[in-house]
Amino acid sequence: MNKINQVFANRGDKKFLSLYFCAGCPTLESTGDVILTMQRRGIDFIEVGIPFSDPLADGPVIQSAATQALKNGMSVQLLFDQLKKIKDEVQIPLILMGYLNPILHYGIEAFCQSCVESGVSGMIIPDLPFKDYQETVKPIADKYDLRIIMLITSETSEERIRFIDDNTDGFIYMVSSAAITGAQKSFDDAKQEYFRRINAMNLRNPRMIGFGISNKQTLEAAQQNAAGAIIGSKFVTLLNEADGHADTALDRLFDALAQ
């Protein structure tokens, strides 16, 4: 069974926490250590960002991390090489998050094969059109037992949400805001209503809420309305401030989420 499905199958009442970081930032060789430290500290899923020069969905924090990673020399091939070195030690799901251009350049089938060889369980490709997903990417991903995680926002129609739910597996990434990534202090009434509306749809796939989670209030709102929360910008900031020391960054993150 795919590790993503396995985690959700065994969850019980557990609420999950997924963290994002950009491979190659703040240092080129820190990828493996960051992943193993997060696993040791109880993180449930890890999203590993593939740096790209034009990350349209990302705010300034993750854009800056991607720029730094590229300057450091990070590439898709190097990332796979780093993941292969720790594959046997990683028990939790790894999800690659990246834009379509580098994946197409690498080759979709070659990318999926490298994912399997590196212990990757799934992908999030924010700019992948759903038609291309169905016709081109999904058949190859299914062949390698990889999950393609699709995103929805408050502006996604109910019809499209149900279509995504019927045609994907793993989980649905619920974007808390239709804007770019970045920490928020709270979720307003409109976002809370969006969470409740999606809850009432009784979707087949579990949902994880991301974008803007950075403190106790936003974490609890996400966990109350989905299977768990995804944190990106806040952790990337803390990891940079800690010069890549993941334990220090996690200590500071857990402190922030308790306040």
pLDDT at 182: 45
State yes or no: cis peptide before 129, omega within 30 of 0.
Answer: no
pLDDT at 250: 98
Rounded CA gap, 67 and 190, in Å?
33
pLDDT at 183: 46
Q: What residue type is 9 in one-letter code?
A: A
pLDDT at 83: 98
Nearest to 27 by CA among 95, 78, 77, 90: 78
Rounded CA gap, 106 and 118, in Å?
15
Positive or negative: CA dihedral 198, 155, 137, 62: negative
Residues with catalytic function: 47, 58
Q: Which residues, at least 6 apart from 56, have a Cβ–Cβ distance to it below 8 Å?
A: 99, 126, 127
pLDDT at 180: 45
Residue/partner pairs of 132-138 with CB below 8 Å, 24 or more apart = 134/167, 136/108, 137/108, 138/167
pLDDT at 11: 84
pLDDT at 55: 67
Per-residue pLDDT of the chain (259 residues; tens, 9 = 90+): 899 999 999 888 889 999 999 999 999 999 999 999 999 999 999 999 999 987 666 788 999 999 999 999 999 999 999 999 999 999 999 999 999 999 999 999 999 999 999 999 999 999 999 999 999 999 999 999 999 999 999 999 999 999 999 999 999 999 987 554 444 556 778 888 999 999 999 999 999 999 989 899 999 999 999 999 999 999 999 999 999 999 999 999 999 999 8
* 133, β-bridge pairs: none
Rounded CA gap, 194 and 10, in Å?
27
